[in-house]
Amino acid sequence: MSPRRVCPVCGSTEFIYDPRRGEIVCAKCGYVIEENVVDEGPEWRAFEPGQREKRARTGAPMTLMIHDKGLSTDIDWRDKDIHGNQITGMYRTKLRRLRMWQRRMRINDAAERNLAFALSELDRMAAQLRLPRHLKEVAASLYRKAVMKKLIRGRSIEGMVSAALYAACRMEGIPRTLDEIASVSKVSKKEIGRSYRFMARGLGLNLRPTSPIEYVDRFGDALGVSARTKKRAKEILNEAIKRGITSGKGPTGLAAAALYIAALLEGEKKTQREVAEVAHVTEVTVRNRYKELVEKLGINVPI
């Protein structure tokens, strides 16, 4: 209903919709504002979630994670009919033959075959990194755009898929390092970096540098520090960013050093090795960033 609607009798803006009669009536005086309203919902009723699922006649929503966007027919692998009864004999053989031809017909040419392979790789990598579904959709969208602009030609599919996933992580504020992407990819860190730069130029991606603050929660959870320590680390990094100390330095090393300092200040002592392992940096990097932050911010760290 439009919020501008007003009852012509009493001037009220509160209305009640009666789905059985298809009428909209005034909540105060009962005047019928509109009648014969078309109900756009289903014609059946459901009294529990299981019943609703059984009576629904629509499939899964459209997704970019499947090469045909999930719009084609999919024959279930279970040999059962709509009532859950087992299909046997001649019909079972016929169903298996139909299923085989359906799989073949869903992929028409080499381009679709490559896209299907790329999206399956993307799904595998994202699952191993425990990334959310919406991020996978963003990565799939980036890869499809790269295919449309013919950026994939002459490059490895695995490298471009890894680059799309890395870019999507940065776009959605859920950053993952190149080392983390490379750990689940079939190509090297160097190849992923090269593919990412090529994709960013080709698609015109203007991504801001990753902030070290975005890594604090994840690294802090892995270290098992308190929320107070993570908050203190973010305060240290915010001050460092204001003073321009973070310019030109790796965000993971800065986040690790800030967490190390915050843990010392809050009495939750962690070793530099523990922090370095979580952040996938060397102990030397943690030590150097620690010294810079302590000296330039004037932090008194308890020994």
Concatenate the DSSP letters of all residues of 253-303 into one string: HHHHHHHHHHHHHTT----HHHHHHHHT--HHHHHHHHHHHHHHHT-----
Q: pTM for the full model?
A: 0.70
CATH 2.20.25.10 domain position(s) in the chain: 1-41
CATH 1.10.472.10 domain position(s) in the chain: 110-203, 212-297
The reported pLDDT for the residue numbered 181 is 94
Task: Give the residues of the chain that fall short of pLDDT 50.
Answer: 1-2
Q: What topology does CATH give the domain 110-203?
A: Cyclin A; domain 1 (1.10.472)
CATH of span 1-41: 2.20.25.10
- 112-150 pLDDT, tens digit per residue, is 889 989 999 999 999 999 999 999 999 999 999 999 999
Residue with tokens 């932090």: 299
Q: Are 219 and 259 in contact (CB under 8 A)?
A: yes
The reported pLDDT for the residue numbered 67 is 78
The reported pLDDT for the residue numbered 253 is 93
CATH of span 212-297: 1.10.472.10
Residue 10 among known ligand-binding residues? yes
Q: Are strands 23-26 and 15-18 parallel, antiparallel or unpaired?
A: antiparallel
Structure tokens at 1: 């209903």
The reported pLDDT for the residue numbered 30 is 87
The reported pLDDT for the residue numbered 57 is 64
Residue 169 among known ligand-binding residues? no
The reported pLDDT for the residue numbered 44 is 67
Q: Are 196 and 166 in contact (CB under 8 A)?
A: yes
- 70-79 pLDDT, tens digit per residue, is 777 777 777 7
Neighbour-count burial of 44, counting CB atoms closer than 10 A to its CB (0-12 exposed, 13-18 middle, 19+ buried): exposed
